[in-house]
Amino acid sequence: MAWLLFTMAMFYLNHYDFFPLHLPMTTSPSQSADEVICQCSGTTRGYIEKLVQQGLDVDAISQRSGALTGCGGCEWDIAELVKALGAQ
Protein backbone atom coordinates (compact mmCIF):
# COMPACT_ATOMS: atom_id res chain seq x y z
CA MET A 1 0.00 0.00 0.00
CA ALA A 2 2.81 2.42 0.86
CA TRP A 3 4.42 1.64 -2.49
CA LEU A 4 1.21 2.53 -4.31
CA LEU A 5 0.88 5.84 -2.46
CA PHE A 6 4.52 6.66 -3.13
CA THR A 7 4.10 5.87 -6.84
CA MET A 8 0.98 8.00 -7.08
CA ALA A 9 2.70 10.89 -5.31
CA MET A 10 5.72 10.68 -7.61
CA PHE A 11 3.46 10.61 -10.68
CA TYR A 12 1.60 13.66 -9.45
CA LEU A 13 4.79 15.57 -8.64
CA ASN A 14 6.24 14.76 -12.06
CA HIS A 15 3.16 15.83 -13.98
CA TYR A 16 1.76 18.83 -12.16
CA ASP A 17 3.29 22.07 -11.00
CA PHE A 18 1.10 22.36 -7.94
CA PHE A 19 0.82 19.84 -5.18
CA PRO A 20 -1.72 18.78 -4.02
CA LEU A 21 -3.82 21.02 -6.26
CA HIS A 22 -4.01 20.57 -9.98
CA LEU A 23 -5.00 23.91 -11.37
CA PRO A 24 -6.54 23.98 -14.84
CA MET A 25 -4.46 25.26 -17.70
CA THR A 26 -5.37 28.35 -19.58
CA THR A 27 -4.90 29.12 -23.24
CA SER A 28 -3.88 32.72 -22.82
CA PRO A 29 -1.37 34.00 -25.36
CA SER A 30 1.19 34.44 -22.58
CA GLN A 31 1.54 30.67 -22.36
CA SER A 32 4.69 29.53 -24.08
CA ALA A 33 4.41 27.45 -27.23
CA ASP A 34 7.39 25.52 -25.90
CA GLU A 35 5.52 24.40 -22.79
CA VAL A 36 5.50 20.61 -22.70
CA ILE A 37 1.94 19.40 -22.25
CA CYS A 38 2.61 15.67 -22.52
CA GLN A 39 5.62 14.69 -20.47
CA CYS A 40 5.73 11.18 -21.92
CA SER A 41 6.03 12.23 -25.56
CA GLY A 42 7.40 15.73 -25.12
CA THR A 43 4.49 17.20 -27.05
CA THR A 44 4.39 20.97 -26.69
CA ARG A 45 1.50 23.40 -26.50
CA GLY A 46 2.59 24.95 -29.78
CA TYR A 47 2.53 21.62 -31.62
CA ILE A 48 -0.94 20.83 -30.30
CA GLU A 49 -2.15 24.28 -31.36
CA LYS A 50 -0.71 23.67 -34.83
CA LEU A 51 -2.49 20.32 -35.11
CA VAL A 52 -5.78 21.83 -33.91
CA GLN A 53 -5.44 24.53 -36.56
CA GLN A 54 -5.12 21.72 -39.11
CA GLY A 55 -8.48 20.44 -37.92
CA LEU A 56 -7.31 17.38 -36.01
CA ASP A 57 -9.29 16.07 -33.04
CA VAL A 58 -7.82 14.62 -29.84
CA ASP A 59 -7.48 11.10 -31.28
CA ALA A 60 -5.72 12.35 -34.39
CA ILE A 61 -3.46 14.59 -32.30
CA SER A 62 -2.55 11.58 -30.18
CA GLN A 63 -1.69 9.51 -33.25
CA ARG A 64 0.34 12.30 -34.85
CA SER A 65 2.25 13.49 -31.77
CA GLY A 66 2.43 10.45 -29.53
CA ALA A 67 0.66 12.35 -26.76
CA LEU A 68 -1.70 10.23 -24.66
CA THR A 69 0.18 7.08 -25.61
CA GLY A 70 2.03 6.83 -22.30
CA CYS A 71 0.67 7.26 -18.81
CA GLY A 72 -2.39 9.26 -19.87
CA GLY A 73 -1.73 11.95 -17.30
CA CYS A 74 -2.09 14.69 -19.90
CA GLU A 75 -5.52 13.58 -21.11
CA TRP A 76 -7.48 16.26 -19.30
CA ASP A 77 -5.04 19.04 -20.19
CA ILE A 78 -5.03 18.16 -23.89
CA ALA A 79 -8.80 17.79 -24.03
CA GLU A 80 -9.23 21.19 -22.38
CA LEU A 81 -6.66 22.80 -24.68
CA VAL A 82 -8.29 21.38 -27.81
CA LYS A 83 -11.70 22.41 -26.54
CA ALA A 84 -10.53 25.96 -25.79
CA LEU A 85 -8.77 26.33 -29.13
CA GLY A 86 -11.78 24.98 -30.97
CA ALA A 87 -13.99 27.54 -29.29
CA GLN A 88 -11.85 30.44 -30.51
Interface residue list for ligand FES (CB under 6 A)? 38-40, 67-74
Q: Which is nearer to ligand FES, 42 or 86 (CB)?
A: 42
Q: Which is nearer to ligand FES, 44 or 88 (CB)?
A: 44
DSSP secondary structure string for all residues of 44-69:
EHHHHHHHHHTT--HHHHHHHH-TTS
* Shortest reach from residue 38's CB to ligand FES, in Å: 3
Nearer to ligand FES, 29 or 66 (CB): 66
Dihedral (Cα; 15, 80, 25, 5), 10-degree rounding: -30
